[in-house]
Amino acid sequence: MISLEKALKVIENIGAADLPAERIHLKDALSRVLAEDVYADCDFPSFDKSAMDGYAIRREDINKILKIIEFIPAGKKPVKSIEPGTCSKIMTGAMLPEGADVVVMKEDVIVTGESISIRNADTKDNILKQGEDLKAGSLLLNKGTVLNPIHIGLLASVGATEPKVYKPPVITVFSTGDELVSPEERPVPPKIRNSNSAQLIALSKLAGCRTFDSGQVGDDSQLIFKTIQNALADSDIILLTGGASVGDLDYTGEAFEKLKSKIHFTRLAIQPGKPVLFATVANKYLFGLSGNPVSSFVQFHLLVKPLINKLSGLSSESKVLRLPISIDLKRRKSERTLFIPVRINDAMEAEPLEYHGSAHLNAYQKAEAMACFPMGIKDLKQGTLVDVRPV
């Protein structure tokens, strides 16, 4: 049984490389990971522009009555320069006319016919200068950026309509066990519905992966082996649940060995989620996760997500917060690191939720994170800082 830290080191050091990159249309790039740095192809703004609806003037004329000589909407190049005693009406985002160095807000102007007078001589310039946000050739977005809507807008603004992004990892999921029926069926005791596959597929999609669902497979060693073997052709990662322990019907390890894979670890010092197999074959990654839905959920966040990040060109490290626990906690045994569902309250404390163990999936319905009860510690006092991982 190895520690979580050692397991993560194994995943970090197995030599996984970024997946191949591809160019895709900007409209399809949301949540994808940039595979190259992107640079500005022009200044931002690309010209001096008005930050307000108002009047473009020379500051030295601010106490004079000024004649309006032109109306400048956004998108129209000014025709006339601002000379002494003149001004131009200008809209937000419009190009500043030559000679002007101030835009007076329309609220600070009194209009009389074709002239104006200004009642606030202390006005700001209200001008966005060319290149004040970004100069042409400057780095706009870094390689490894997960593209959000703001990034999409920035890419559009520099004409990067076909960004180079990493191909998403492909994950195949299936569950093992004769006790399982599909979610569409109403189970007759002692059968249970297969919730693991749906949950893991959803987690994989949320992590940016393409997914395949191989359904469920009974406790048949040859069938489990064949299902994994078939999935290897089209997948980067294979997740199967159940059969990862040492029972008479636990065939995952046997199937991994038959594939001539390298098994890196088989048990992890965490609770829930102790039985977990991680193996590699060529450039493919195999996880035998627990059949308990909370355990496989925890294992995905702790182990599978870092591997997905690594393959996707991201840091393999998961986001970890240090927050105080909101109440005293006790436990009888401490040989494993315990993860419990919590919400983050208004005092920025990790507040434990009611939790009955690895089969209690409903406990995570309102969970915002899982808090770590460190190995070797039986008592946590209120206010003690703990590691908290968002889920």
> CA nearest 265: which of 55, 5, 80?
5
| Number of other residues whose CB lies within 10 A of the CB of residue 312 | 24
Answer whether 223's CB lies under 8 Å from 245's CB: no
In the numeric block, the tokens 């920035």 are attached to 154
CA distance 316 to 308: 8
Amino acid at site 127: I
3-state secondary structure of 299: helix
> CA nearest 390: which of 376, 371, 373?
371
Answer whether 252's CB lies under 8 Å from 314's CB: no
> CA nearest 96: which of 62, 61, 45, 135?
45
| Number of other residues whose CB lies within 10 A of the CB of residue 254 | 14
3-state secondary structure of 171: strand
Q: Residue range 125-131: average pLDDT? A: 97
- Whole-angstrom CA distances from 222 to 20, 251, 252, 300 are 33, 9, 10, 26
pLDDT in tens, 1-18: 999 999 999 999 986 566
pLDDT in tens, 101-114: 999 999 999 999 99
> Which fold does the domain 49-128 belong to in CATH?
Molybdopterin biosynthesis moeA protein; domain 3 (2.170.190)
Q: What is the pLDDT of residue 358?
A: 81
Name the pLDDT band for 246 (thresholds 50, 70, 90).
low
pLDDT(371) > 90 = yes
> CA nearest 197: which of 227, 160, 221, 222?
227
Q: What is the pLDDT of residue 51?
A: 98
> Which fold does the domain 321-390 belong to in CATH?
Beta-clip (2.40.340)
pLDDT(70) > 60 = yes
Q: What is the pLDDT of residue 314?
A: 85
Q: What is the mean pLDDT of the chain?
A: 94
pLDDT(249) > 60 = no
pLDDT(130) > 90 = yes
pLDDT in tens, 153-186: 999 999 999 999 999 999 999 999 999 999 999 9
pLDDT in tens, 77-86: 999 999 999 9
Domain over 4-18+168-311 is classified CATH 3.60.40.10: no
Q: What is the pLDDT of residue 270?
A: 97
Q: What is the pLDDT of residue 112?
A: 97
Start-end of CATH 3.40.980.10 domains in the chain: 4-18+168-311
First-last CA distance in the chain: 25
Q: What is the pLDDT of residue 18?
A: 65
Q: What is the pLDDT of residue 357?
A: 83
Q: What is the pLDDT of residue 185?
A: 93
pLDDT in tens, 270-309: 999 999 999 999 899 999 999 999 999 999 999 999 999 9
Q: What is the pTM of this model?
A: 0.86
Q: What is the pLDDT of residue 352?
A: 97
Q: What is the pLDDT of residue 251?
A: 87
Q: Residue range 223-243: average pLDDT? A: 94
Start-end of CATH 2.40.340.10 domains in the chain: 321-390
Start-end of CATH 2.170.190.11 domains in the chain: 49-128
pLDDT in tens, 312-363: 888 767 789 999 999 999 999 999 999 999 999 999 999 999 998 887 889 9
Start-end of CATH 3.90.105.10 domains in the chain: 21-43+132-166
pLDDT(248) > 70 = no
The first and second tokens of residue 79, run together, are 């025709």
Name the pLDDT band for 247 (thresholds 50, 70, 90).
low
Domain over 21-43+132-166 is classified CATH 3.60.20.10: no
Q: What is the pLDDT of residue 317?
A: 72
